[in-house]
Structure 1
Amino acid sequence: MFARVLRVAAVSLALGGVGFTAQAQTSPAPAAGSPAGEDPVVAKVNGAEIRRSEVTRTIASLPPQVQQMPPQMIFPAVIDQIINGKLVAEAGYKANVQNDPEVAERLKRSEERIVQELYLTREVQKRITAERLQEAYNKFKEENPPQDEVKASHILVESEDVAKSIIADIKKGDDFAKIAGEKSTDKAAAQQGGDLGYFTKDQMVEPFANAAFAMKPGDVSQTPVQTQFGWHVIKVVDRRQSTPPSFEEVQEQLRSQVSEQVIGELVEDLRGKAKVERFQMDGSPMPETPPAGTVTPGSAAPAPAAPATKP
């Protein structure tokens, strides 16, 4: 199974081109003059050296399930695939495939995509300033104001009678958490004594949320609460207002969001300065869009406006 996955991955690398090239550039070979031990030769093909860095770059380009395999298993197999690739490439060069017009065409397409990626990456890096990220964070806080939160525990059972019996036992002094651990069908919460943590009203099903948010800290349900999951006995532990995440906690999310905005602005600006001509699939001129309200042959005339009515 491993060999088959690796062969498929290796072929996709050989044929995919751009993805591998772009990823390889993120892991450059050691600088000239660096000690040989940092990047030793791990194989030779007709005298041409294959260094460890080439193997590690190739591994980094393989599917995650392959990368997670033990190094002692994957390293020799990847070397074999690189050797095979070198031999095939060498045979191709001997057959002068490098002079085929298709090679030049594919290289041009690959170069164009890499130039796009690098240009956008560099422009985004230049345009994402601390001020712009702070503005995005301020907008995030405006759009996500603090909300009321309740911290509650619950005991979930299958029938109303069982829930009523539990409420009676709690009124007599039985421990809520102990009962939750023994009887609640919500096994995840039961392991925590029924604790559900803090939640906002919209995070729970409506009957449960309405009941919990109508209670005060320390209150226990006087009557069972029914939802599609069963019958609940609720204990409210605390109430508070949520606090927005810190800038550091959402920084990567903000950076991704602002990056998309920057790319959109950049492309829009480029299109605004360019002369763009579009044609139909057969190369014929694109028909002009008629002005609003114009009746074209075969189309229905616009409907008359409805008469005004008195309030």
Structure 2
Amino acid sequence: MTIGNIRNALLAGLILAAVPAFAEERADQVAARVGDTEILESDVTFATSFLGDSNPEATQEARKSAVVDALIDLKVVSDAAIRDGMENDETFKRQMTFLRQQALRQVYLAKAAAVAVTEDVVRKAYDERVAAMPVGEEVRLRHILTSDQAGADAAIREIAGGMPFEEVAGRTSLDDASKGKGGDLGFLTTEQLPPELGTAIATMKAGETSTNPIETPFGFHVLKLEERRKREPPAFETVSAELRSGMEAQAVGKIVADLKASARIEKLVPDVAMPDASDDGHDHGAN
């Protein structure tokens, strides 16, 4: 959402039910005044949390100013609506009922999910997944890529004659991504390698260089196996947020299902499944 849309989003009532009472007294700074009503810094922070990302190119001060302008507009227009008796308008009442239910649902599920998915629960799920991971291996490789076998054979002869692998790779390899690093590909799993290279390194020892070129669809390779190590699982800190998000989604689904199971519900319209998002209704088969 851009800054120019912030004001419109608020005036459209997207967060009408969630904007705090401006007249409420709080021990924080005043950001603006509309008549006798103060718009506080905490009101700005609260409203900002509902607006999502604003223009990433704008400064923090510009984004804050736009939110304050939006809250000023919201206050001015809502006061005018009250003076015109809009609080008794049936459309307004229906909208407020819907927004209130929506806000209550959001708050209830967020708190219920937080109770169900604690730090200990996330940590336990992480430990269980790590324990279930198959034991794997990573290898650190260097390679020299040539367009033909003659070039690869020449590189092998240079290395066998005492020329450092890194120097030969930097001078002759066609792989621009690794030649500047002496052909270093970093740590990889066998699954990340072309199958021909995976087969070639299966019997190689750390520090060993291949004595014959290995052909793949990319060309001819000369390999040096630098190191073998056990594949470590991703650190908890790097996956905990994604893991928590998935667990919270599952928890919310269960909470809603349990609540519906205990409620008396009558759906009086046909229960029709939504079409798959990838199905555009057209036959894309062969003519």
TM-score class, shorter-chain normalisation, is: 0.7 to 0.9
Aligned-pair identity in percent equals 29
Deviation at 1:83, TM superposition (A): 2.8
| Contact map agreement 2:30 2:38 (CA 8 A) in 1 | yes
- Corresponding residue for residue 14 of structure 1: 11
Letter in structure 2 aligned against 1:200: T
Pick closer, same or farther for the CA change 1:73–1:33 going to 2, 3 Å.
closer
Counterpart-to-counterpart distance in 2, 1:248 and 1:237? 29
Describe the superposition over 1:108-135 as per-residue Cα deviations: whole angstroms up to 9, x where unpaired.
Answer: 1112122222222222222235664454
| SS state at 2:55 partner | helix
Counterpart-to-counterpart distance in 2, 1:32 and 1:134? 41
Deviation at 1:76, TM superposition (A): 3.7
| Contact map agreement 2:140 2:228 (CA 8 A) in 1 | yes
| SS state at 1:86 partner | helix
Q: Does 1:231 align with 2:239?
A: no
Alignment partner of 1:193 out of 182, 188, 198: 182
Alignment partner of 1:87 out of 64, 76, 80: 76
Alignment partner of 1:97 out of 50, 69, 86: 86
| SS state at 1:64 partner | coil
| SS state at 2:2 partner | helix
Deviation at 1:247, TM superposition (A): 4.5
Q: Does 1:208 align with 2:205?
A: no
| SS state at 1:234 partner | strand
Alignment partner of 2:55 out of 66, 88, 103: 66
Letter in structure 1 aligned against 2:249: E
- Corresponding residue for residue 166 of structure 1: 155
| SS state at 2:163 partner | coil
| Contact map agreement 1:59 1:67 (CA 8 A) in 2 | no
| Contact map agreement 1:60 1:67 (CA 8 A) in 2 | no
Structure-to-structure mapping, 1:212-291, within 5 angstroms: 212-281=201-270
Q: Does 1:147 align with 2:136?
A: yes
Letter in structure 2 aligned against 1:164: D
Structure 2 unaligned blocks of 5 or more: 273-287
Counterpart-to-counterpart distance in 2, 1:146 and 1:233? 28
Counterpart-to-counterpart distance in 2, 1:235 and 1:207? 14
TM value normalised by structure 2: 0.78
Alignment partner of 1:123 out of 89, 103, 112: 112
Deviation at 1:140, TM superposition (A): 0.4
Letter in structure 1 aligned against 2:31: V
TM value normalised by structure 1: 0.73
Describe the superposition over 1:160-214 as per-residue Cα deviations: whole angstroms up to 9, x where unpaired.
Answer: 3322222221111112122323333333323322222222111222222222333
Comparing both chains, which one has the higher relative contact order based on Cα–Cα distances under 8 Å and sequence gaps of 6 or more? 2
Pick the structure with greater CA Rg.
1
Counterpart-to-counterpart distance in 2, 1:59 and 1:258? 27
Letter in structure 1 aligned against 2:3: L
Counterpart-to-counterpart distance in 2, 1:74 and 1:103? 29
- Corresponding residue for residue 306 of structure 1: none
Deviation at 1:60, TM superposition (A): 4.7
| SS state at 1:66 partner | coil
Counterpart-to-counterpart distance in 2, 1:279 and 1:158? 69
- Corresponding residue for residue 49 of structure 1: 38
Counterpart-to-counterpart distance in 1, 2:13 and 2:231? 48
C-alpha RMSD of matched pairs (Å): 3.2
Letter in structure 2 aligned against 1:10: R
- Corresponding residue for residue 183 of structure 1: 172
Describe the superposition over 1:36-95 as per-residue Cα deviations: whole angstroms up to 9, x where unpaired.
Answer: xxx332332334323333334444544535255223444444433333333322332222
